[in-house]
Amino acid sequence: MSDSYFPRWRLQTSGTKSVIAPDERLPWPQMLAMGVQHVVAMFGSTVLAPLLMGFDPNLCIFMSGVGTLLFFVVVGGRVPSYVGSSFAFIGLVIAITGYSGHGPNPNIPVALGGIIACGVAYAVIGLIVAAVGTKWIETLMPPVVTGAIVCVIGLNLAPIAVKGVSGSQFDSWMALVTVLCVGAVAVFTRGMLQRLLILVGLLIAYVIYAIVTNGMGLGKPIDFSVVANAAWFGLPKFGAPVFDLHAMTLLVPVAVILVAENLGHIKAVSAMTGTNLDRYIGRAFVGDGLATIVSGFAGGTGVTTYAENIGVMAVTKIYSTLVFAVAALIAVALGFSPKFGAVIQTIPGPVLGGVSIVVFGLIAVTGARIWVVNKVDFSDNRNLIVAAVTLVLGAGDFSLKLGGFGLGGIGTATFGAIILYALLRRKPAQQAAL
């Protein structure tokens, strides 16, 4: 990469190179298409996570774009990443606000104060890492730990995707049709069409669903009236935080989970691209922390680097950081359109669920890829126990409560992996004796 703050993205054509490096780009029409695909890839989480907590999904999409641009600037365009709503906040936000699970959450302001406090703690950790290096982070979270945590994120989200398509046999079959559509595009197409597999697969499944339901009368039809009645342009519905000490105390520890997610993200991207991105880890933490703070002040959820977009990069082999700036600008523009929010509402649950099954699966496999690339030795019982316990805790959504503090599956798996690895550490003399 160049010595300037931002890379000088070299133009590559899709026909001359199969892998597009972080400091390269495709022609602009293809960059735009890839940006759209990344926005679509994060729909499942950036729409679902706010809905589960009672936030406005249109605002959260808008803030995901703002946060990604902020992250992009802080890391100097060196780390390919999209930031959006983090699932690590869901359990605690619901507990703090007493959200019933239906409609807008009236107590969001209290959660926003805690989200901002978490973002501040996260940014401070980033400043420490930027000042003293990543050695202490890597000691706490080596590849066996980060790989397990990334894998757990995909496995923990899997029941959400499956439950969302299990309402009826029709929904289940349409989800499988969606999976087949994405898989067929991934395997049987070539060139740019193949690289747009998620977007193209979703569109094909959407059309099939519309034909089967609206055209043939099977299943729940798509209601297009909400799109017709929505305005083209409108301001997002911003919110304001309330700083409650109890809520802030409960949400601050989520910063540790975000650190693990971001570290795993960067390690995964480094493994995929063959580029050492360790020097940008501190700045990535700061960028993600600032994005969370800004989102909290605007009324949005806490954010994290998106594993869904790792999945897209894994199958497309396009790692250009400029794609994420394009995706962010698209998300910001879409945030100003209530009609777009209405379009999101028309995406059938089985179709979105089918896409989520594919993307969440790719996340889990990416975690395993970290183990393979870093040659994690599973003949070492410590690595074996850490990985095994972490996967079951996360996949089983094992929860713990200590007084007013609670951890969901991702939280217990994250802290469990870190603590278990440290407790099972052998002294050098013990290692030499084996």
User: Is the model's pLDDT at 160 over the cut of 80?
Assistant: no
Query: pTM, whole model, 2 decimals?
Result: 0.72
Number of domains in the chain: 1
Q: Identify the top-confidence range among 95-109, 143-157, 195-209, 230-244.
A: 230-244
- The pLDDT value given to residue 403: 67
Closest CA to 351 of 160, 175, 162, 157: 175
Token pair recorded at residue 75: 């890391």
DSSP state of 83: E
pLDDT tens digit sequence for 139-159? 887 888 888 887 887 787 777
In which band, very low, low, confident or very high, does the pLDDT at 406 lie, cut at 50, 70 and 90? low
Alpha carbon distance 94, 105 (integer Å): 9
Token pair recorded at residue 111: 């959660």
In this structure, is residue 285 part of a structural domain? yes
Q: What is the mean pLDDT of residues 115-134?
A: 93
In this structure, is residue 186 part of a structural domain? no
Alpha carbon distance 332, 236 (integer Å): 10
- The pLDDT value given to residue 69: 95
Q: What is the mean pLDDT of residues 83-89?
A: 83
Alpha carbon distance 265, 366 (integer Å): 9
Alpha carbon distance 285, 279 (integer Å): 12
- The pLDDT value given to residue 187: 87
In this structure, is residue 26 part of a structural domain? no
pLDDT tens digit sequence for 6-55? 888 888 775 555 788 888 888 888 889 888 888 877 766 677 678 778 88
Decide if 136 contacts 110 (C-beta within 8 A).
no
In which band, very low, low, confident or very high, does the pLDDT at 257 lie, cut at 50, 70 and 90? confident
In which band, very low, low, confident or very high, does the pLDDT at 426 lie, cut at 50, 70 and 90? low
In this structure, is residue 270 part of a structural domain? yes
Where does residue 179 fall: left (phi above 0), alpha (psi -120 to 50 degrees), or beta otherwise?
alpha
Alpha carbon distance 404, 393 (integer Å): 21
Question: Cα angle vertex 258, ends 253, 260, to 5°?
Answer: 105
Q: According to the 3-state scheme, what is the secondary structure of the chain?
A: CCCCCCCCCEECCCCCCCCECCCEECCHHHHHHHHHHHHHHCHHHHHHHHHHHCCCHHHHHHHHHHHHHHHHHHCCCCCCCCEEECHHHHHHHHHHHCCCCCCCCCCHHHHHHHHHHHHHHHHHHHHHHHHHCCHHHHHHCCHHHHHHHHHHHHHHHHHHHHHHCCCCHHHHHHHHHHHHHHHHHHHHCCHHHHHCHHHHHHHHHHHHHHHHHHHCCCCCCCCCHHHHHCCCCCCCCCCCCCCCHHHHHHHCCHHHHHHHHHHHHHHHHHHHHCCCCHHHHHHHHHHHHHHHHHHHHHCCCCEEECHHHHHHHHHHCECCHHHHHHHHHHHHHHHCCHHHHHHHHHCCHHHHHHHHHHHHHHHHHHHHHHHHHCCCCCCCHHHHHHHHHHHHHHHCCCCEEECCEEECHHHHHHHHHHHHHHHCCCCHHHHHHC
Q: What is the CA radius of gyration of the chain?
A: 21
- The pLDDT value given to residue 249: 81
46 vs 371, residue with greater confidence: 371
In this structure, is residue 31 part of a structural domain? no
In which band, very low, low, confident or very high, does the pLDDT at 5 lie, cut at 50, 70 and 90? confident
Length of the chain: 434
Task: Work out the mean pLDDT of the chain and round it to a whole number.
Answer: 83
In this structure, is residue 434 part of a structural domain? no
Alpha carbon distance 343, 348 (integer Å): 10
In which band, very low, low, confident or very high, does the pLDDT at 429 lie, cut at 50, 70 and 90? very low
In which band, very low, low, confident or very high, does the pLDDT at 89 lie, cut at 50, 70 and 90? confident
In this structure, is residue 320 part of a structural domain? yes
pLDDT tens digit sequence for 409-418? 777 888 888 8
- The pLDDT value given to residue 357: 83
In this structure, is residue 202 part of a structural domain? no
Domain that holds residue 254: 39-167+233-352+363-429
